[in-house]
A and B are shown apart, each in its own frame.
Chain A
Amino acid sequence: MKNTPHWNADGWERGGGRTAHSAESYAAPRPPVSLFGRGGHPDRFMLALERVAARIEPLTSRWRPGRRSPSPTGDLTVRVARVERPARDVAALTLVPARPGVALPRWQPGHHVDVVLGDGVVRQYSLCGDPRDRTAYRIAVRRIDGGTGSGLAHALAEGDVLTLRGPRNAFPFARADRYLFVAGGIGVTPVLPMVRAAHAADRPFRFVYTGRSRESMPFLDALPAPSRDADVTVRPDDEYGPPDAAELLAGLSPGTAVYVCGPAPLIDALRRRVPPGTPFFSERFSPPPVVDGRRFEVRLGRAGPVLPVPEDESALDVVLRARPETAYSCRQGFCGTCRVGLLSGEPHNRDRPTGGSPRGAGFALCVSRADEGTRLVLDL
């Protein structure tokens, strides 16, 4: 089945086959019979629960909602107050509230903001400034050749107005007795506030900052001064060679929490070598890009609109634009939330449901596809 990845292949199934206790197997439960004593009698306790529910439903249907929680403040509008170039191909932006006198939401080391860069392009950037400063956020962006988001971010100038969402936390910084921080290149952005926080709290740490060369590594002038409890190492590849996971982890003592941000191979290499029981934190990856996708079509219901699914988008991306209320979650084909009924068509199922639950007749919008030019009719 070349070109059609099947995620149920070896390597994913670590033990356990299909469960006998799937959702489907309990889809039509029989009325409850007694569990105890001589079988066959209706279960009085369970039937009493039904009577309670049958009373509560009409009773509570007359209860009006209370005062709803206050609406969220929504998107943040900010102005670019300063643009700096702390390293080759790196832009550091200082963002202040567009309306003066407004305090920005609180954040912690590891938090990021979603930056709306226009044309539906939204990118996540770690906050790298001082969390105590409620008047400005700081982000830093490395320009990637051909990168849409980084290109737009680098085109920003002082005075430009932007929309932010968040801040949110995909890289939680938790209390530990001591820390090992490893940053690779622009991955220094979330790590730097963590290092400063550990330093301010007098927690011993080692911080290894890797990168291709000193010219490419931003914020070298903003690192804490080394001391007995603050072991700071700047380690450019062109001086020391590529980083070696074993060397980075040398001398790791129990109770140390390891925080890593940088290129994926660096994170993977460290993750594999960090001993069991040592907390390992890395920023979570974004959903995998669609690879080797073919263009196909989905129809939303037998009489609904027909939507094309381009090569580089998932059916979920397309359906969400038409039906923003569609539920989904993992975007990787394992949680089953976005599975919908398939009314007709030949799908390429690429999901790999957790726990061995059978896929049933469902079609996982987030990863599954169809042959080029064919149409699937979804029960939506």
Chain B
Amino acid sequence: MSGDDTLAPTTPVESGADEPDRLVLHARDVRFDWSELDLHWIPGEPFATHVINVLHLLLPEGERWFVEVFKQAVPHITDDELRGQVLGFIGQEAVHAEAHAGVLDHMDAHGLDPRPYVEQIAWMFRVVLGDRDLSGDREFAWLRTRLAVIAGIEHYTAVLGQWVLDARKLDEVGTDPTMLDLLRWHGAEEVEHRAVAHDLYAHLDGGYPRRALAMGVAAFALAALWVRGVRFLVANDPYLRGRIGGRRPRASWAVRDGRRGLIPRLGRLARAIPEYLRRRYHPSHYGSTSQAVAYLAVSPAARAADAAGREATEREAAGGEGAQ
């Protein structure tokens, strides 16, 4: 493979003076209470709600798979700083997965059983993208291919994370504040750790064809799964029974709600592919760490997690009597 088929060095270009860098990543022990959540948590907008709800269907099993694949990669890492970032990433992803799984229980409680769809996603990640009974060089090559898939998906999660941090319209229309906090806490952590999967892939492989192919497949699958997810949710929503305002959902609604700012614009999602395929792509060129850390500093869930973690530390230090 020629030298041109490689990635830019992992050191990001000089970022703006206001962009914090070299962040130590850590998981936050967030908890969310869904007992008061409406099924249509963007009021009066069941279509936009379900477009975003697809994330709750994809992410629990998707992020559990990220964790498994990354854990397999840890023994191959020879850079201590990167290992630290990867370990922080794993913890954040593990918490994300369980936070979204909690929303699935809430769907159950409203009579929308997400299991048939989520079980397909589980099959995709655990069987199709699982270990495939390989050994030796093929096992390691498949690991690198899967890391390339994750690096591609992580560009999307960073783009989506930045979108939700910016999505003022969701506040204006009265979106459920707890759900908005979940989405923005998650989005902020995705922006915060957006370079890790890319840097890990660059460390263990770095080849361009593998990463380009992985992004192509991942973007196609993600788009198809998203459309299927919306169809599934609208069809199984006990209040909608397949129809919104008497009509079956159509693609133009996604364009309309994107323009209104309720969901990401399709154009932005499409543009992510050529961005990612640039030879000099580095995740630090997209998204704002400053904005991400600023949100984490106001997020009710992240603030509560910090307070609880600190108080647990002090309680332990004070005598080990546990929660009182």
In the complex formed, the residue of B with least CB distance to A284 is B26
Interface mask (B303-324 → A, CB under 8 Å = 1, otherwise 0): 1101111111110110111111
Determine, out of A163-171, A217-225, A295-303, the stretch whose residues face the partner at the interface.
A163-171
Cα distance A278–B295 in the bound complex, in angstroms: 10
Check if A264 sits within 8 Å of B314, measured CB to CB: yes
A15 CB contacts on chain B under 8 angstroms: 31-35
Please measure, in the bound complex, the distance between the C-alpha atom of A52 and the C-alpha atom of B218, giving whole angstroms: 11
CA distance A125 to B88 in the complex (A): 20
Q: Tell me the B222-251 residues at the A interface (CB within 8 Å).
A: 224, 228, 231-232, 235
Contact A169 B21 (CB under 8 A): yes
Number of A-B residue pairs at CB separation under 8 A: 316
Complex alpha-carbon distance, A36 and B123, angstroms:
17
Most buried by A among B94, B116, B304, B310: B94
Taking CB atoms and an 8 Å cut-off, the chain A residues in 147-196 that contact chain B are: 165-170, 172-176
Answer whether residue A360 sits at the interface, using C-beta atoms and an 8 A cutoff. Answer: no
CA distance A31 to B309 in the complex (A): 41
B105 within 8 A of A: yes
| Overall SS of chain A's interface | loop
How near does chain B come to A125, taking the closest CB pair, in angstroms?
14
Q: Are the CB atoms of B26 and A5 closer together than 8 Å?
A: no
- Distance in Å: Cβ of B182 to nearest Cβ of chain A: 11
Contact A174 B20 (CB under 8 A): yes
Which residue of the partner chain, among A1, A272, A280, A352, contacts B297 with CB atoms under 8 Å?
A280
Query: Contacts A46-B120, A46-B124, A165-B80 known; A268 to B18 CB distance under 8 Å?
Result: no
Interface residues in B, total, Cβ within 8 A: 118
B31 touching A268 by the CB < 8 A rule?
no
Query: Is the CB–CB distance between A19 and B199 below 8 Å?
Result: no
Contact B27 A330 (CB under 8 A): yes
B323 near A66: Cβ-Cβ < 8 Å: no
Contact with B along A124-136 (1 / 0, CB 8 A): 0000000000000
The stretch among B160-168, B258-266, B267-275, B286-294 that forms the contact with chain A is: B286-294
Report the nearest A residue to B86, measured CB to CB.
A327
> A50's contact among B71, B128, B289, by CB below 8 Å, is which?
B128
A58-B7 Cα distance, complex, nearest whole Å: 23
The residue in chain B whose Cβ has the minimal distance to the Cβ of A1 is B322
- Say yes or no: B94 contacts A329, CB within 8 Å: yes
Asked whether B30 lies within 8 Å of A354 as measured between CB atoms, the reply is yes
Establish whether residues A330 and B26, one from each chain, have CB atoms under 8 Å apart when the complex forms: yes
- Chief secondary structure at chain B's binding surface: helix
Q: Are A21 and B306 in contact (CB under 8 A)?
A: no
Residues on A with beta carbons closer than 8 Å to the beta carbon of B128: 46, 49-50, 53
- Give chain A residues whose Cβ lies under 8 Å from the Cβ of B22: 107-108, 111, 166-169
Residue in A35, A60, A165 whose CB lies within 8 Å of B120: A35
A334 touches B95 (CB 8 A): yes
- A16 nearest in chain B by CB position: B102
Q: In angstroms, how far is the closest chain B Cβ from the Cβ of A193?
A: 13
A69 in complex: contacting residue of B32, B95, B202, B311, CB < 8 Å: B202
Chain A residues positioned under 8 Å from B120 (CB to CB):
29, 32, 35, 43, 46
Is A251 an interface residue, CB under 8 A from the partner?
no
Interface string of A34-48 (1 = CB under 8 A from B): 011000000101100
Interface residue A140 (Cβ < 8 Å from any Cβ of B) = no
B294's nearest neighbour on chain A, judged by CB, is A174
Contact with A60, one of B91, B129, B145 (Cβ below 8 angstroms): B145
**A172–B91 alpha-carbon span in the complex (Å):** 19
Q: Which residues of A contact B23 (CB under 8 A)?
A: 168-170, 172
A12 and B323 contact, CB distance less than 8 A? yes
What bracket does the count of chain A residues touching chain B fall in?
35 or more
Report if B38 contacts A (CB, 8 A).
Answer: no
Interface residue A61 (Cβ < 8 Å from any Cβ of B): yes
For B142, give the chain A residue with the smallest CB separation: A57
Q: Which residue of A lies closest to B57 (CB)?
A: A21
- B129 A53 Cβ-Cβ under 8 A: yes
Give Cα A259 to B202, complex, Å. 35
Roughly how many angstroms separate A356 CA and B213 CA in the complex, as a whole number? Answer: 37
Chain A residues lying within 8 Å of B321, measured Cβ to Cβ, are: 2-3, 5
CA distance A6 to B319 in the complex (A): 14
CA distance in complex: A357, B26 (Å): 20
Which A residues lie within 8 Å of B112 (CB)? none
In the bound complex, CA of A33 to CA of B124 (Å): 12
Q: Which of A50, A264, A271, A329 contacts B90 (CB 8 A)?
A: A329
Known: A69-B7, A70-B9. A9 touches B322 (CB 8 A): yes
Q: Would B323 and A35 count as touching, CB distance under 8 A?
A: no
Q: How far is the CA of A378 from the CA of B58 in the complex (A)?
A: 32
| Residue contact B123 to A65, C-beta cutoff 8 Å | no
Report if B205 contacts A (CB, 8 A): yes
What is the minimal beta-carbon distance from A144 to any residue of chain B, in angstroms?
Answer: 14
Name the residue on B nearest A65 (C-beta): B205
B187 CB to closest chain A CB (Å) equals: 16
Known: A29-B119, A66-B206; 8 extra A-B contacts, CB below 8 A, are A23-B97, A67-B1, A111-B22, A169-B22, A174-B18, A176-B294, A330-B29, A332-B312
Q: Which residues of A contact B (CB under 8 A)?
A: 1-7, 9-16, 19-23, 26-27, 29-33, 35-36, 43, 45-46, 49-50, 52-53, 56-58, 60-72, 74, 107-108, 110-111, 165-170, 172-176, 257, 264, 267-268, 271-272, 276-282, 284-285, 287-289, 291-292, 325-330, 332, 334-337, 352-357
User: 17 A-B contacts, Cβ less than 8 Å apart?
Assistant: A9-B322, A10-B323, A15-B33, A16-B102, A19-B105, A21-B105, A32-B123, A43-B120, A45-B228, A69-B9, A165-B81, A168-B22, A285-B309, A330-B27, A336-B98, A355-B102, A356-B102
